Structure formats: C-alpha cells, structure tokens
Amino acid sequence: MTKKDKKTSFTRKPYTFKRVSENLYKVTETGGYYALVKRGGKQIRRSLKTTDKALAKRRLAELKQKASKLRTGKEHASITFEKYSERWIMAKEASLKSQTIRRMKDCLKGIKPYLGNNLIRNITYQDCERWLIGRGKELKASAYRQERQLMIGVLKAAERDGIILDNPATQLPNKKMPKIEIHVPNHDQFRSLIKQMRQADSRGIHGAYLVQLLAYSGMRLNEATNLMWSEIDLDRDCFTVTGGEYGTKNHDIRTVPLFPAMRELLARIRSAQTETHSDYVTPIKGARTLMANAAKKAGIPKFTHHSMRHYFCSNAIEVGIDFKVIAGWLGHKDGGILVAKTYGHLRDTHSFEMAKRMTQGADEVEPKNVVNISDKTA
C-alpha cells in the first residue's frame, strides 16, 4: 500500500473505508457512505445510511452544518447530565405549575443513577439504554413515559445549546398506556350518591354540593374548588374558570355559560350559607372519602371526582351538543378531538334507546306482491 493510499483509506474491522472526498468515506465491502468530521478536536463519525453518492453528499452537508453549531467551551464540555437537568428544570419553573416541577424532580431522581454523572456531551444511546434495562421494566407505563420524556427534553435542550450533535434518547422505545375504562354514573346512580352523601353530617352536605357542582359544570376538581362567587355573573349568565393559584390545566382562563342546573345549584348553596359568607362557592377541597362511603352504603359503584366530568360530557352528548362546543366548555384547545375520542361514548341505556329509532328496513324495498307469512297462516 502506497503512502497516498494510506491517506485516502483506513481499515476498521471488519470494513475498509476509502476516502471519496473531504470528510466523505465509502465502505468497500457494502458500498455505504460514512462521514468523518472534526469539531473542537473531537472526531465525529456517522453512517449516512445510503449507498447513493449524491444523497450522501447532501447528508454530509447537513451534518457539517449541525457540527458547526457545536460549542467547544470548557463550560459545555464539563457539565454533567445532573447539573444540566437541574438548570433546565429551574428554567421551567417560570411557566409550569409547582406540581409539574415536583414531578420532573422525581423523574430526575430515577434517571440520576444511570446518567447523572455522565458528561452530557458524551452521552450515547447505550447510556440511555442502561436506564432502559435497569429501570424501564419496573416502571408503570405512565411513570416510564414521564422519565423518558424528561430525558428527551433535557437532551433536546442540550442539542439546541450546541452541547451534543444528536438526541440519543429519542431512540428509546415508548410504553403503551393501558386503556383506561371510563365509568360514568347513570342518572339513578348519581341521584343515589347525592342523596346518601346528604344524609351524613354537614361536611357530607358540602361534599354533595361539590359533586353536583362538578357534574353540572364539567369543571376539574381544582377549578371547582377555586371557583369564587365574584367569578359568577348572573346578569350575563356565565362564570369564569381561573383555577385559582395553580391555574387551569392549560393555563388559560375561560368563560363558560351558566347552565340551568348549575344556576339552581348555586342559588341553593347561597341560600344555605347562613353564617359568614365565604369568597369561595365550596368550602372543601375534595370529597373522595365521602363519595366512597356513600357509594358503598347506596350499593352503587365507586365513582371519582373526575367521573362527574364524564357525567357532564355524557349528558351534553346525549342531548346533541356539538363536540367542539363541549370542548370549549371543558377548556380543550383541539376543537373537540379529545372529547370525541374520550367522551364520545354514550351510556348503554341511551345507546339502545337511540337504536330503536333505526326503523328503516327491508319493507321499504320489498315488492307489493309479497305476502306476509304470519298473515297467511292466520
């Protein structure tokens, strides 16, 4: 092999790489193309995943452009995944709820044993795979997805900041979420639940009012428990959902029509407040235990606060309200897609009643000379 040949090719078992042009090499055995780029003294070798020379050159140009954005400063070279993640979460605190930040920090605790001390610029898919092998199996689907998403988010920011070239965490497989069976109370079950709750002490009465408020408004629990009397406009027949200190789920304030059942409920709650008037419609923050005890005594299934949101949606769908309108009431921004997907079910009893309206049949097209068998035998 001549001196010139040594400059234009190299061998890496089991393949031989032959130089085609600057930064571009071809595998003699397979015909595939590879890129070899240097940035800040670090060698970047990437398969261009093609045997087409023109396509390989285009992909090489894209890779060189990405590599040119890599930062070579000491600060970026020495920062670990743990330190960078903490800084990333801190930056998120200005726009996310405190409970979301707490969940992120919990996710980071699960990832730290596998990636925490790694220099973020050196993290590879194999490092992410260590987390997958060591922790992925023990996590439920929801926790797995949260930790995976945190890892992707942190490394995406590192890619944006020019610390890494690619985000290896995106290659991690996702876990399929189990299908959640939605339980919606029928009207009799709802009435039984409220009746049984009201038979308890004064807290039970407040709990019944809260459950009715959820069922008649479609609000989430946090939104309902933070609803203030000042946010209800009886003259305009509407109320404003702010979510209080923590805000709504999507951080948006929305104005919703004051539904007739909700208006009657508010009048009953107001008239029942004989002592000091509270700024809030309901004085309690939840009624989970009250609901569970009442359901057991009434001999009906156990329902949650969120079941009442399902109840509201189911009632709205049954009376023919458009999915897009319901989505606006609920605070969704997708134009009704989630409502159609999640709440598009109807109670079985209602579905069977609707099926009775499907009266079109064969008699519409049968010839007039056909004799009914039952008539002939009679």
Structure tokens at 99: 């409970």
Give the whole-angstrom CA distance, residue 205 versus residue 284: 11
Structure tokens at 278: 């509270």
Position 275 scores a pLDDT of 55
pLDDT tens digits for range 120-157: 988 999 999 999 999 988 899 999 999 999 999 999 99
First to last CA, the chain: 106
252: pLDDT strictly greater than 70: yes
Phi, psi of 63 (to 5 degrees): -65, -40
Position 300 scores a pLDDT of 96
Running DSSP on this structure, what letter comes out for residue 274?
-
CATH number for the region 187-355 comes to: 1.10.443.10
The answer as to CATH 2.60.40 being correct for domain 3-68 is no
User: Bigger pLDDT: 189 or 364?
Assistant: 189
Nearest to 262 by CA among 284, 244, 237, 285: 237
Burial 63-77 (b: 16+ CB within 10 A, else e): beebbeebeeeeebe
**Is the backbone peptide bond immediately before 14 cis, with ω within 30 degrees of 0?**
yes
Considering the four listed CATH numbers 1.10.274.10, 1.10.150.130, 1.10.1370.10, 3.55.40.20, the one that applies to the domain covering 76-171 is 1.10.150.130
Stated pTM of the model: 0.62
Q: What angle do CA 81, 63, 13 make, to 5 degrees?
A: 85
Position 378 scores a pLDDT of 47
Structure tokens at 87: 């800084």
5: pLDDT strictly greater than 50: no
pLDDT tens digits for range 24-53: 999 988 999 999 988 767 788 888 999 999
61: pLDDT strictly greater than 60: yes
Describe the strand order of the beta sheet including 33-39 as a list of residue ranges.
Answer: 9-12, 15-21, 24-27, 33-39, 42-47
User: Bigger pLDDT: 202 or 374?
Assistant: 202
- The residue length of the chain stands at 378
Position 98 scores a pLDDT of 85
Give the whole-angstrom CA distance, residue 73 versus residue 299: 68
pLDDT tens digits for range 341-354: 776 555 555 667 67
Structure tokens at 373: 């068998």
Position 73 scores a pLDDT of 73
Contact 150, 191 (CB under 8 A): no
CA 155 to chain CA centroid, nearest Å: 20
Q: How many other CB atoms sit within 10 Å of the CB of residue 17? A: 20
Position 106 scores a pLDDT of 95
Q: Where in the chain is the domain with CATH 3.30.160?
A: 3-68
Structure tokens at 211: 């459950």
Give the whole-angstrom CA distance, residue 308 versus residue 214: 6
Among 50-59, 209-218, 245-254, 367-376, whose mean pLDDT is lowest? 367-376
Among 197-211, 266-280, 315-329, 338-352, whose mean pLDDT is lowest? 338-352
Q: Where in the chain is the domain with CATH 1.10.443.10?
A: 187-355
Average pLDDT, the chain: 86
Q: Where in the chain is the domain with CATH 1.10.150.130?
A: 76-171
* Region for residue 366 given its phi and psi (left: phi exceeds 0; alpha: psi -120 to 50; beta: otherwise): beta
Nearest to 130 by CA among 150, 112, 146: 112
Give the whole-angstrom CA distance, residue 322 versus residue 70: 50
